[in-house]
Amino acid sequence: MLILENDKRVKGKLDNIWEILTDVKCFADAGPDIIRVEHLAGEGLGMIRRVHHRVSGAWEEECIAWKPQSHFTMQVTGGNYLLPVTYLRRITSMQQKQKNVVIKIRYEYTPKYGPFGLFLNKHQIIPILNLFSSQLVDNLAKIIHQRNIDVSISAASILKNKHSDIHTITPDTLILAACKILTKYKIGSVIVLDPQGKIVGILSERDIVNGIANSDRPILDQAASEFMTHKVICSHPDDSLATLMSVMNAKHIRHLPVVDDNEYLMGIIDITDIINARMLELEQTSAAMYQYIEGRKWREMAMQVGRGAAAKEFKSPA
C-alpha cells in the first residue's frame, strides 16, 4: 500500500469546518474536474455516493470510517476510477493546531499490474493524484475562508462596529418633532416604539414626503402614527450580510431594524452600513485570493524543485 498526503492550515470553528468537509456539494465544488456527486444511500458510516468525473466517467465511494469533527474515510468501490489502482481510500481529517485547524487529504492505494504498476505510480498515479489532492485541499480551504467571512459579517457585527445611538419616537410624536430628530442626527428614519418598547412602525423621509403629497392639510402637527409604515421588516442579529442585502433589495428598503429573540430593538442598519460591510468583505476576499495564489505557486515549485528550494523563493504558506 502506498500513501500520498496534502494538508492546509485554515481558520474557523471545528463544527463549521467539519460541515464543509462532509458536504457532498462542497466536495463536488472543490474537486478538480468533478461534474457532480450523487448521494446514493446512508449518512456517516456506510454512506455511499457516486462521483462523476469529466474525464473518467463515474465511480462509487463508500464511507468505511467516520469520527465526527475528526476524520472520515471514503473507499472506492466501483470501476472507472481515473487512475489504474486496485484499491484506494481517501481519508479526510482535521486537527486543531493552536489558533488554526489543519485539514489533511490522505490517499492510501495500491497500483494495478504488479511490478509495472511501480512505473505507472511514478509517472502517472503520483503526479495526477498529487495534483488532484493539492487542488482539492486548496479549494476546500477557499470555501472555508469564504464561509468564515459570511459568518463573521452579520447584523450583530455591523451594529457593533457602527457605534451609533438608536433614535426612536412614540406613535403620538408630532411629525414636526420627528423631522427635527432626522435633521439633527442626519438620519433617514426613526423607529416608532410602543410603551412596552416593541416596534409598531418606522417613519422615514419617504413616509413624510408621501404624507405631504397626499394629505389635504398640513401634516407637521399630526401624529407620526398617521404616516409611518406599520408593517416593519426586521432582521435578526445572526443574519448574514448576504441575507441583509437580499432583503433590502427584494423589499426596496434602505433601513432595516435589528431585533433580538424577544423582538426588542437592538439597532438599525442602513444602506451605508451595508456598503461599508460589503467593501470589508471584498477586501477580505481579495486578501484570501492573494494568499491562495501564493500558496499554489509555492506548492507547484515545491513539487518541481523541493520544499527547501521553494522556501528560498516563497515564504512557506504552512
Residues 140/21, Cβ–Cβ less than 8 Å: yes
What is the number of domains present in the chain?
Answer: 2
Burial class (CB in 10 A: 0-12, 13-18, 19+), 46: exposed
Give 234-275 pLDDT, tens digit per residue.
Answer: 999 989 888 999 999 999 998 999 999 988 999 999 998 999
Residues 90/73, Cβ–Cβ less than 8 Å: yes
Answer whether residue 272 is part of any domain: yes
165 shares its domain with 124: no
Q: What is the pTM of this model?
A: 0.56
219 shares its domain with 205: yes
Answer whether residue 130 is part of any domain: yes
253 shares its domain with 203: yes
- Its sign, for the CA torsion 159, 165, 170, 174, is negative
Mean pLDDT of the region 169-197: 95
117 shares its domain with 199: no
**Start-to-end C-alpha separation, the chain:** 27
Domain containing residue 129: CATH number: 3.30.530.20
Q: Pull the grid cell for residue 145.
A: 475562508
Q: Which helix (H) or strand (E) holds 34?
A: strand 34-41
29 shares its domain with 10: yes
Select the more confidently predicted residue: 149 or 138.
138
111 shares its domain with 227: no
Domain containing residue 232: CATH number: 3.10.580.10
123 shares its domain with 217: no
Which structural domain range is residue 160 located in?
155-278
pLDDT of residue 154: 87
pLDDT of residue 153: 80
In whole angstroms, how far apart are CA 152 and each of 42, 122, 156, 224, 259? 32, 44, 9, 37, 18
